[in-house]
């Protein structure tokens, strides 16, 4: 089922308009990267799609529902279908990796089964199968606080793969990984999403990774869509316009130089 935003705006509680007039349609099974400078609104958009925030204006249709009209069980049911991959996965430090992965299905299980699984992992084979493609099968019984940041991010990915969601939302999913591992992990995430017919929407600062792994790329600037096109059509000019003055706005590293932004051909991390 598709996602549709019609004239969506999002104003945070302090009055800051993080998103304005966003029109967007994403079909089931599409894989989309969101790029843009720091503060452009990428996380705000993902939080809307994850239903932790509601639009201030406009209309959001998500997997056949309007989150703004759902309450209670109907909202919980919708949320079970959405897998969230966090930049820093909120995993309890003392929790075993196997338990953290199995927690992906807590929302699908009865209270009794969920509580039992927290004490004794009920589906060790399932957790192992989710971790294996991420090269973490040998970490099954380690504690989360014994893992590196990149390994924790991959546990978070294994957890949503185990969840079996219809929609995967990833906020900077490989930010803690070295460039080789980030490339491998994004490739894997895209392959698995593709094989399962699951929609994948990820925010990324690494423009080269967005262009290499995602068929469709959205450029967000100051809360508005600057472009929305196939990765192969994203031009150097698009990227220059997206990141112009970004270093002044955010205080972060300067925007990619014109030669460097020819990232379709030059694999580099920005
Ligand atoms: N809860 C909040 N209350 C007020 N303003 C917020 C809140 N969350 C985000 N903002 C503001 O909304 C704007 C967009 O933030 P958002 O986190 O969506 O950007 P982003 O593109 O994900 O940035 P980054 O790449 O740095 O993570 C920023 O100016 C930010 O300060």
Residue 173: its pLDDT value, please? Answer: 87
Ligand 1 contacts CB of residue 110 (under 6 A)? no
Q: How many CB atoms lie within 10 A of CB 121?
A: 19
Instruction: Give 45 Cα–ligand 1 centroid separation in angstroms.
Output: 10
The pLDDT of residue 107 is above 60? yes
Ligand 1 contacts CB of residue 36 (under 6 A)? yes
At 114-141, the pLDDT tens digits run 677 666 777 899 999 999 988 899 999 9
Residues of the chain with pLDDT > 90: what percent?
A: 60
The pLDDT of residue 260 is above 70? no
| 73: Cα separation from own chain's centroid | 24
> Residue with the nearest Cα to atom 29 of ligand 1?
39
> What letter would DSSP give residue 182?
H
Instruction: Give 23 Cα–ligand 1 centroid separation in angstroms.
Output: 19
Instruction: Give 178 Cα–ligand 1 centroid separation in angstroms.
Output: 25
Mind listing the domains of the chain with CATH numbers? 1-79+205-270 (3.40.50.300)
Residue 246: its pLDDT value, please? Answer: 64
Q: How far apart are CA 70 and CA 76, in angstroms?
A: 9
At 213-253, the pLDDT tens digits run 999 999 999 999 999 999 999 999 999 999 987 654 444 44
With beta carbons less than 8 A apart as the criterion, state whether 216 and 33 touch: yes
Residue 109: its pLDDT value, please? Answer: 66
> Residue with the nearest Cα to atom 16 of ligand 1?
41
Instruction: Give 40 Cα–ligand 1 centroid separation in angstroms.
Output: 7
> Residue with the nearest Cα to atom 2 of ligand 1?
12
How many angstroms separate the Cα of 252 from the Cα of each of 37, 81, 179, 205? 9, 35, 19, 11
Ligand 1 contacts CB of residue 16 (under 6 A)? yes
- Give the closest residue to 216 by CA, choosing from 46, 42, 30: 30
Query: Backbone phi, then psi, for 92, in 5-degree steps?
Result: -60, 130
Q: Residue 69 is encoded by which pair of tokens?
A: 């009209």
The pLDDT of residue 190 is above 80? yes
Ligand 1 contacts CB of residue 38 (under 6 A)? yes
At 26-67, the pLDDT tens digits run 999 999 999 999 999 999 999 999 999 999 999 999 998 998
How many angstroms separate the Cα of 260 from the Cα of each of 37, 155, 236, 268, 269? 16, 32, 9, 8, 10
With cut-offs at 50, 70 and 90, classify the pLDDT of residue 149: confident
């Amino acid at each position: 089922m598709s996602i549709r935003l019609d004239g969506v705006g999002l104003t945070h509680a302090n009055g800051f308009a993080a998103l304005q007039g966003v029109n967007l349609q994403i079909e089931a099974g599409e894989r989309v990267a969101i790029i843009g400078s720091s503060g452009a609104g990428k996380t705000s958009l993902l939080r809307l799609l994850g239903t932790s925030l509601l639009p201030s204006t406009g209309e959001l249709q998500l997997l056949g529902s309007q989150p703004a009209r759902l309450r209670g069980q109907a909202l919980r049911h919708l949320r079970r279908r959405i897998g969230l991959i966090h930049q820093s996965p909120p995993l309890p430090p003392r929790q075993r990796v196997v338990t953290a992965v199995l927690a992906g299905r807590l929302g699908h299980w009865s209270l009794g089964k969920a509580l039992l699984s927290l004490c004794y992992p009920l589906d060790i084979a399932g957790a192992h199968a989710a971790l294996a493609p991420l090269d973490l099968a040998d970490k099954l019984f380690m504690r989360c606080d014994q893992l590196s940041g990149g390994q924790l991010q991959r546990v978070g990915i294994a957890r949503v793969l185990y969840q079996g969601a219809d929609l995967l939302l990833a906020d900077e999913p490989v930010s803690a990984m070295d460039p080789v591992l980030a490339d491998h992990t994004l490739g894997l995430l895209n392959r698995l999403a593709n094989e399962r017919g699951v929609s994948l929407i990820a925010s990324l600062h690494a423009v080269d990774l967005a262009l290499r792994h995602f068929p469709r790329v959205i450029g967000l600037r100051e809360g508005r869509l600057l472009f929305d096109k196939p990765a192969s059509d994203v031009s150097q000019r698009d990227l220059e316009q997206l990141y112009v003055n970004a270093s002044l706005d955010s205080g972060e590293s300067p925007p990619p130089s014109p030669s460097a932004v020819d990232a379709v051909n030059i694999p580099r991390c920005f």
